[in-house]
Amino acid sequence: MVHWAEEWAETFALVFLFVGFIISVLLQSAVLSYLSVLLAGFMGGRIYYIQKLHEPILPFILMIIGFLLGYLLGNFWSSRLWTLIFFGLGFGISHYLHKKKILVIFKSENFIK
């Protein structure tokens, strides 16, 4: 029997793959698809920034990639290349804004300005 402590990352990556697929299939407008993947990139950049200094980072990277892969698999109404570009753009901007402390995490001393 497999223990949950050993398989949780793969399970959540599969769940996020399914969620990404469902979201991209339901959004039949290219504009909404690009906007949602840009927001998903922002969330992925935030999660990566928060978890990058903690010791296992790979499970969170698997979850982000799982969501993106599921989104790309269900993306029928817009370009997959532009979807990757918008996700990368959202990820990069979010990570940069967190790194420069323009956006801060909730438990930091700079949260309330």
pLDDT tens per residue across span 26-50: 998 999 999 999 999 999 999 999 8
Long-range CB pairs of 83-86, under 8 A, 24+ apart, other chains included? 83/33, 83/34, 83/37, 86/34, 86/37, 86/38, 86/41
Over residues 16-23, mean pLDDT? 95
Model pTM score? 0.85
Domain boundaries, the chain: 7-99
Q: Are residues 90 and 45 in contact, defined by beta-carbon separation less than 8 angstroms?
A: yes
pLDDT over threshold 70, residue 62: yes
What is the average pLDDT score of the chain?
Answer: 88
Percent of the chain with pLDDT over 70: 89
